[in-house]
Structure 1
Amino acid sequence: MTEEIVFMELQDRLKICFKNKELFMVALTHSSYANGRKNIKFNERLEFLGDSVLQLTISEYLFSNYGNKSEGELTKRRALIVCENSLHEIAKRWGIGKYIKMSKGEELTGGRERVSILADCVEAIIAAIYIDSGFENAKKFIIENFKDTIEKAIKNKIVLDYKTKLQEIMQQNGEININYSLIKFEGPPHRRKFYTQVSVDDKILGNGMGYSKKESEQNAAQEALKGLEEKDE
């Protein structure tokens, strides 16, 4: 996929218009891509700036719209909104994993799905918008793309640890044995996929895949929680 195609597709997907194409491409460049290449800029500095722009925007929005909440409550909600898991969910919604420039080695070890890489890229894109078109446009972009995340945070529906949350819900009426079973794994050692199933009393609640056992268990618990939510609706 050429840079021009990436540039056009992502602008359309994110509903943004960049004046500086090079800046946008830097936001999509992981540090691994620069290894062994001369004069290649990557997105770590943009991540630093994007984090500050995001924090300020969310802080201002919460302060202005939730006057009934204390400083402690606002701090807690902001932490949920700007955490790595929330940024990762937004990155998946955008589908930016396939557009990130990274080394072949990073890609082969699951880099395009790695939570930290995707979350950092979201911050870098925010910084690029801020530099390219100013704070007001960056702020508008953030609020539009984070509105669902903000609503979930206010309702305390953002989960950082799906296994713990599932255990809390399932054990509300007493001790219940929750089992996580590794069903299979596949792929070469450097890119192994693990498949896990979570069950209670032999009843399967969810399945999950990940590039580590821990990740596959978290994803299985997340699917189980979604199933429980749909059952309650």
Structure 2
Amino acid sequence: MRKLFTLDGLRISSSGKGPRTMTEDVKTESAEQFSKRLKLPFTDFFLLTRALTHRSYLNENKDAIEDNERLEFLGDAVLDFMVAEWLYHLFPEKPEGDLTRLRAALVHTEQLANFARKINLGLALQLGKGEIQAGGRERTTLLCDTFEALIGALYLYAGMPAVEAFMEPLLLEVVDSILQNHIAEDTKSRLQEWAQGRGLASPKYILVAEEGPDHNKTFEMEVRIGNKSYGRGIGSNKQSAEKSAAREALVSLGILEHN
């Protein structure tokens, strides 16, 4: 996939100082203002307005257009495909399982809501008064849903190249940290998959040592598959020590590189 433009090509925040806090007296940004701020390709704002319209707004404004739920449905599918292709080209050496987990992390509800906050999407949401007072402009699920609707509208209006151009700067900002977290969080499941793929018993984690006072304990865990020890790890709690032990096992097996 060719790169369409860099982070400099997308004005992430209107102030350049990060996301703003949304209070109930924030004036709603029009679809046209939103599009101009982010340099989106819309010149007809019907689809974009629909993408920014929550069903609570329709409940209080009977003349309003359709809400964004159908666009949300479409945008969800578009994001899955676009991010999958992007990862396929970005990491040509990674197996299907790794790519699947990375995609899941990049299109997770929390991550999409973070993208929405990054572009101050809450400023442009058309919400009912009750939803505004309940903090809807900052609600994670609502921001995620609206971000998906925005992608759906962008896809219908300008096609996949426009979606790629909009998403790539956002993805590039987070993919490295997500990759590192993915490696750290996924060591136990990767070791489990390795064992299962070879018909071996599931890894078992055994407490080897526990030291220190209650408020500052250190745990050492050993991971065993069958009767064989594959690695040990130390952590401030049993879970982190288990992950460390699993990572040590993956390093010893040549699946991960030693840091």
Relative to the length of structure 2, the TM-score reads 0.58
Query: What root-mean-square deviation, in Å, do the aligned CA atoms of Structure 1 and Structure 2 show?
Result: 2.8
Structure 1 residue 12: Cα displacement: 2.9
Structure showing greater Rg: 2
Q: Which runs of 5+ in 2 are unaligned?
A: 1-25, 186-209, 217-259
After superposition, what is the alpha-carbon deviation per residue over 1:187-222, rounded to whole angstroms, capped at 9, x for unaligned?
A: xxxxxxxxxxxxxxxxxxxxxxxxxxxxxxxxxxxx
In 2 relative to 1, CA 71–9 (structure 1 residues): closer, same or farther, beyond 3 Å?
same
Quote the residue 2:69 is aligned against.
Answer: 44
1:15 aligns with 2:39: yes
In 2 relative to 1, CA 176–73 (structure 1 residues): closer, same or farther, beyond 3 Å?
farther
1:6 aligns with 2:42: no
Structure 1 residue 31: Cα displacement: 1.0
Quote the residue 1:135 is aligned against.
Answer: 160
Structure 1 residue 175: Cα displacement: 7.8
Counterpart-to-counterpart distance in 1, 2:184 and 2:144: 16
Aligned residues of 2:32 and 2:45 also touching (Cα < 8 A)? no
Relative to the length of structure 1, the TM-score reads 0.64
In 2 relative to 1, CA 159–83 (structure 1 residues): closer, same or farther, beyond 3 Å?
farther
Structure 1 residue 173: Cα displacement: 7.7
Percent identity reads 34
Matches within 5 A, 1:192-203: none
Quote the residue 1:155 is aligned against.
Answer: 180
Q: In the alignment, residue 152 of structure 2 is paired with which amino acid?
A: A
In 2 relative to 1, CA 39–103 (structure 1 residues): closer, same or farther, beyond 3 Å?
closer
- Tell me the number of residue pairs that the alignment of Structure 1 and Structure 2 aligns: 166
Quote the residue 1:32 is aligned against.
Answer: 56
After superposition, what is the alpha-carbon deviation per residue over 1:20-56, rounded to whole angstroms, capped at 9, x for unaligned?
A: 2111111110111111525631111111111111110
Quote the residue 1:121 is aligned against.
Answer: 146
Q: Partner of 2:40: helix, strand, or coil?
A: coil
In 2 relative to 1, CA 39–14 (structure 1 residues): closer, same or farther, beyond 3 Å?
closer
Aligned residues of 1:13 and 1:94 also touching (Cα < 8 A)? no
Relative to total residues, which structure has the larger helix share, 1 or 2?
1
Q: In the alignment, residue 139 of structure 1 is paired with which amino acid?
A: E
Q: Partner of 2:97: helix, strand, or coil?
A: helix
Q: Which runs of 5+ in 1 are unaligned?
A: 161-171, 179-233
Structure 1 residue 68: Cα displacement: 1.7
